[in-house]
Amino acid sequence: MKSLSIKDIAVKAGVSITTVSFIINGKARDKSISEAVIKKVEKIIVESGYKPNQIARSLRTGNSNIIGLIVEDISNSFFSKIARLIEDKAYKKGYKIIYSSTENHIEKAKELITMFKSRKVDGYIISPIKGLEEDIQQLMADNKPVILFDRNLPDLDANYVGADHFKATYHSIESFIKQGKKKISLVTIDIDVQQITERLTAYKKALADYDIPYEENLVLKVHFNQDEKETMVQMEKLFQTEEIDAVLFATNYLAISGLKVLKQTGKKIGNDFSVIAYDDHEVFELHTPGISAVQQPLEEIAETVIQLILSQLSSKTKLDNQHIILPAKLIER
Amino acid sequence: MKSLSIKDIAVKAGVSITTVSFIINGKARDKSISEAVIKKVEKIIVESGYKPNQIARSLRTGNSNIIGLIVEDISNSFFSKIARLIEDKAYKKGYKIIYSSTENHIEKAKELITMFKSRKVDGYIISPIKGLEEDIQQLMADNKPVILFDRNLPDLDANYVGADHFKATYHSIESFIKQGKKKISLVTIDIDVQQITERLTAYKKALADYDIPYEENLVLKVHFNQDEKETMVQMEKLFQTEEIDAVLFATNYLAISGLKVLKQTGKKIGNDFSVIAYDDHEVFELHTPGISAVQQPLEEIAETVIQLILSQLSSKTKLDNQHIILPAKLIER
DNA sequence: TGAAAAAGGTAAAACGTTTTATGCATACTT
DNA sequence: AAGTATGCATAAAACGTTTTACCTTTTTCA
């Protein structure tokens, strides 16, 4: 049941391997192969169902038509939706995606890059974590296209596509303030990437601009890799001990955990307790009452990422790194 | 910036390529290479950070250490959660996953298989759709491990891992009946795979067993690939025109669409209108009131799938096909 | 008419591994 | 002392492509 090789086709057609290869790769006219031969070989290829062995092709050409996608957690709806969009668009251009989740482990992330390297992926799409700077730098030094998305590493000059988290956060807090909220809490994670820390900066800035004093104990920094149970305990404490009247959750899973806590403790969301979540999710739409959420432009992010990487892949010369910041929208519910 | 090859290591160590290869692959003692040489070469490998080129390795050995995963839609939380679990477990055994979504398009599914084939993936994990029988048969004839999951193709004798949808559906309907419901509706899709049609069979059986007449107009079969908008229109009609007192949604996205309709139309879930969803989702847990749901044992499904495929991959002889049906749980909320 | 160019094609090297077959010492039997 | 293991190591083929360099025949045109 061995599959056909280019040699089988060559023999069947009574021409050389070279000729078949030229035809397969559309170089036939260029290399002045006669129409008759082209037709004949093409016919045989179609009839026999021959498909070139991509492995052999990759070994020879050095590229794999595979793009590596590294995210924090593919089962998070934000990432799985982006992944689906990216996959879709890449597929149309003849690229496949290999994805993997880092689970916020630097060691796993490094291993993944090594593995992708040895698999000779053509390019990398990475939602990075702190500590990966050197490895990414190395990839770029090797002239591999790299696109960071969602999260950025400040010490690194790389292509980046993401949403305007500062503005989105600022507007969220502002909207709380305009509703008359005074005790506004921020629940975030202690991960050290710009896109997360920015949310804290924007929070502080908005408060300052409206002359509301910043209180440290209104900010909960959850450890990025801890168990959900523990997170919920911490949130419960926060919700109980302070007379908070509004909460902004910095990620969708934090918001979901938060909603679980509220449901368990019977605390109601309403006029004297408002909530905004970061990254929209069906949960927020269907929740009673509806939960306002910051919605990132998934489609545009995916589109931009894939466009960026494709242009890098097709360009011979190294292109300048771009930073593309797309607006995020506050969906009020 | 060319990466190191086995030849570079061989030269550096002053031994042959063969020797290095044996050492890399743990065959050194077998081939009686001296300890001294092993140590020396290993040291050089570590120091230089050499990683074998997987492409070349694949070309030579004929296997890629990659498993292809084909699902309907990776952005569906059921699949993305399974994918994450599978990826995780596969990773630990040295396998990578390439995934792709069929979007229920038979053509795309076929293309994906062809693509995976030309990429020489070692095995296939597929949530299949009708019409793929022949292609899958072909894979098995080629002696490639294939595991179907979630959905089964009745005309095909293949490995299958899935939940007991008949029982789960039966129990769901039974629970409605025991609550005194009389007009029980089923919202399902018109896709022709056993795991979906089974839900209809179980629905009918449960009604029959409790002497409730089956009414065709209480069953809504949504077209599997239609726009959500259209689905919602159909559901709205169903909910309005019949005095339905209970609904079972056959998939989680149908349930989510259903909840959206209910929210829009202001119809309340409660004592005189109950809902059960298929495949649990955070939405159902956090919804007010909580939505009962049939929960498939994701972890066990993933574990079984990966175990099955790994045992096939490591066994020289073709193993008998297995059908593994795991119990699903009705979570009452 | 003769040289140059074009048309039509191919042989063979190369990509980086794994693996088979083989070689040469040295040590162990009898 | 001859024969046979055994320890240690390697040369070279093979996997299936792409691509470079080259060859022959025909056509062009000064």
CA B30, C1' D5: Å apart?
A: 16
Condensed to tens digits (0 to 9), the pLDDT of residues A259-274 reads 999 999 988 898 889 9
**Using N-to-C axis directions, what is the helix angle for B194-209 and B165-178, rounded to 10°?**
30
* Residue B257 shares a structural domain with residue B277: yes
Q: What integer is the mean pLDDT of B87-114? A: 89
Does residue A264 lie within any of the structural domains? yes
* Residue B212 shares a structural domain with residue B261: yes
Does residue A138 lie within any of the structural domains? yes
- Whether the predicted pLDDT of B180 surpasses 60: yes
CA A53, C1' D22: Å apart?
A: 27
* Residue B284 shares a structural domain with residue B311: no
Q: Is B285 left (phi over 0), alpha (psi -120 to 50) or beta?
A: alpha
Condensed to tens digits (0 to 9), the pLDDT of residues B195-208 reads 888 999 999 999 99
Mean pLDDT in order along chain A per 10 residues (333 residues): 87 95 92 92 95 95 92 91 92 87 91 90 94 94 93 91 95 94 94 88 96 94 92 93 88 94 90 91 90 95 95 84 95 89
Does residue A1 lie within any of the structural domains? no
* Residue A132 shares a structural domain with residue A186: no
* Residue B14 shares a structural domain with residue B76: no
Query: In chain A, which among 51-90 make CB contacts under 8 A with chain B?
Result: 51-56, 58-59, 64, 66, 73-75, 77, 80-81, 83-84, 87-88
A81: nearest CB among B3, B51, B75: B75
* Contact: B287, A287; criterion CB under 8 Å: yes
* Residue A45 shares a structural domain with residue A86: no
> Across the strands, what pairs with A137?
none
* Contact: B281, A281; criterion CB under 8 Å: no
Condensed to tens digits (0 to 9), the pLDDT of residues B122-178 reads 999 999 999 999 999 999 998 899 999 998 888 899 999 999 999 999 999 999 999
Does residue B1 lie within any of the structural domains? no
Give strand C nucleotides closer than 7 A to any protein Cβ.
6-12, 14-21
SS3 at position A267: coil
Does residue A315 lie within any of the structural domains? yes
Condensed to tens digits (0 to 9), the pLDDT of residues B237-282 reads 998 876 899 999 999 999 999 999 999 998 889 888 999 999 899 9
User: Does any strand D atom come closer than 7 Å to the Cβ of A10?
Assistant: no
* Contact: B287, A285; criterion CB under 8 Å: no
In terms of C-beta distances under 8 Å and separation of at least 24 residues, what long-range contacts does B112-118 make, across chains too?
B112/B68, B112/B70, B113/B68, B113/B70, B113/B139, B114/A51, B115/A96, B116/B68, B116/B70, B117/A3, B117/A51, B118/A51, B118/A52, B118/A53, B118/A54
Tokens of A30: 């260029």
* Residue A197 shares a structural domain with residue A149: no
* Contact: A59, B54; criterion CB under 8 Å: no
* Contact: A96, B83; criterion CB under 8 Å: no
In total, how many domains does chain A have?
A: 3
Residues 60-119 of B with CB under 7 A from strand D: 60
Does residue B255 lie within any of the structural domains? yes
* Contact: B101, A119; criterion CB under 8 Å: no
Cα radius of gyration rounded to whole Å, chain B: 26
* Contact: A54, B120; criterion CB under 8 Å: yes
CA A32, C1' C5: Å apart?
A: 14
Phi, psi (rounded to 5 degrees) for B218: -90, -5
CA A29, C1' C3: Å apart?
A: 26
pLDDT at A104: 87
Does residue A169 lie within any of the structural domains? yes
Residues above pLDDT 70, as percent of chain B:
99
* Residue B67 shares a structural domain with residue B125: yes
CA B284, C1' D6: Å apart?
A: 70
* Contact: A256, B99; criterion CB under 8 Å: no
Mean pLDDT of chain A: 92
* Contact: A77, B80; criterion CB under 8 Å: yes
List chain A residues with CB under 8 Å of B287.
Answer: 286-288
* Contact: B115, A100; criterion CB under 8 Å: no
* Residue A183 shares a structural domain with residue A284: yes
pLDDT at A238: 92
- Residue A100 contacts B, CB cutoff 8 Å: yes
pLDDT at B11: 94
If you measure CA to CA, which chain A residue comes closest to B138?
Answer: A1
Domain extent at residue B151: 63-163+299-326
Phi, psi (rounded to 5 degrees) for B224: -65, -20
Cα(B296)–Cα(A36) distance, integer angstroms: 58
User: Does any strand D atom come closer than 7 Å to the Cβ of A265?
Assistant: no
CA A329, C1' C1: Å apart?
A: 80
Mean pLDDT of chain B: 92
Cα(B145)–Cα(B159) distance, integer angstroms: 9
Cα(A285)–Cα(A215) distance, integer angstroms: 30
* Residue B70 shares a structural domain with residue B132: yes
User: Does any strand D atom come closer than 7 Å to the Cβ of A21?
Assistant: yes
pLDDT at B1: 57
B141: nearest CB among A1, A73, A88: A1
Q: In whole angstroms, how far apart are CA B135 and each of B109, B113, B132, B140, B142?
A: 10, 8, 5, 9, 11
CA A113, C1' C29: Å apart?
A: 56
List chain B residues with CB under 8 Å of A53.
Answer: 59, 118, 120
Give strand D nucleotides closer than 7 A to any protein Cβ.
6-12, 14-21
**Using N-to-C axis directions, what is the helix angle for B106-118 and B133-141, rounded to 10°?**
20
- Residue B259 contacts A, CB cutoff 8 Å: yes
H or E segment to which residue B318 belongs: none
Cα(B194)–Cα(B198) distance, integer angstroms: 6
Tokens of A195: 């896109």
pLDDT at A1: 57
SS3 at position B70: strand
The half-sphere exposure of A78 on its side-chain side, counting CA atoms within 13 A, is 24
Burial degree of A271 (CB within 10 A; 0-12, 13-18, 19+): exposed
List chain B residues with CB under 8 Å of A117.
Answer: 3, 51
List chain B residues with CB under 8 Å of A100.
Answer: 87, 91, 96-97
- Report the nucleotide nearest the CA of residue B10, measured to C1': D10
If you measure CA to CA, which chain A residue comes closest to B98?
Answer: A98
* Residue B155 shares a structural domain with residue B170: no
If you measure CA to CA, which chain B residue comes closest to A80?
Answer: B75
List chain A residues with CB under 8 Å of B281.
Answer: 282
Burial degree of A37 (CB within 10 A; 0-12, 13-18, 19+): middle
* Residue A64 shares a structural domain with residue A154: yes
Does residue A332 lie within any of the structural domains? no
